[in-house]
Amino acid sequence: MKAVILSNGNVENIEFLRSYIESSDIFICADGGGNYAKSLGIKPDILIGDFDSIKEEILNYFQHLGTEIIRYPREKNYVDTQLAVDRAIELSADKIILLGATGNRLDHTLANINMLYYIYKKGVTAEIVDEHNRLMLLKGENFLRGQMGDTVSFIPFFGDVKKIVLKGFYYPLDGVTLTKDTSLGISNVFTEDVGYVDSGDDFVLAIFSYGQ
């Protein structure tokens, strides 16, 4: 089951969100993400958070339509996006797409990127997607789908990625150590529609960049 979670980060073009939401099995808004949902005219299945960002009239509107409302106190241990992730996992989601998870609040952006590891540990695949980027956390052997000419970067997540292998990219690597203090993995390019990545026992963050 695919869950789409819409948070309150920066979204330049809300129509970008529509296809992701409409292809989901369950649509969850984390607090102010509900404002975007209202602008799109799409009813979330669940609204969750402390509701310090969503407009009160929009919260009431969705409640009237039958959206499940899960309210938390403002003083809590976890951000609204993580509460939404936990709810999606409770509902047996095996894939989670995070929208509205990047933006001006760098602390929230970094926390959401780190949440990819939290989700990975739960045995669920996840991506962060915005108009310009798509992020996923990889470990071991993976086949990445893209298009010839797409830009993708590989960034060590915890520490050095030892003996990484990249095939199907303009800059192939074969057993090179990708260290945490280098930019070696930035701005690679697909030369085929499917690229091969093997990071062994280490975690690497793959970031697709579009239109830049």
Residue 141's domain is classified under what CATH number? 2.60.120.320
Record the tokens describing residue 36, joined without a space. Answer: 């975007």
Q: What is the pLDDT of residues 34-84, one digit of tens each?
A: 999 999 999 999 999 999 999 999 999 999 999 999 999 988 889 999 999
Find where tokens 């949440």 sit: 115
The whole-angstrom distance between residue 1's C-alpha and the CA centroid of its chain comes to: 16
Same domain, 150 and 172: yes
Q: What is the pLDDT of residues 102-117, one digit of tens each?
A: 999 999 999 999 999 9
* 212, pLDDT greater than 80: no
**Model confidence, pTM:** 0.94
| Structural domain of 203 | 136-209
Last residue of a domain, which of 111, 131, 151? 131
Residue (of 159, 161, 194, 157) closest to 175 by Cα position: 161
Q: For residue 185, give the DSSP letter.
A: T
Last residue of a domain, which of 131, 153, 174? 131
Q: For residue 92, give the DSSP letter.
A: T
Same domain, 33 and 104: yes
Same domain, 16 and 119: yes
One DSSP character per residue, 31-60 reads TTHHHHHHHHT---SEEEE--SSS-HHHHH
Residue (of 61, 58, 204) closest to 144 by Cα position: 204
Same domain, 15 and 81: yes
SS3 125: strand
> Helices 56-65 and 33-40, interaxial angle, to 10°?
60
Amino acid of residue 201: D
Same domain, 9 and 106: yes
SS3 82: helix
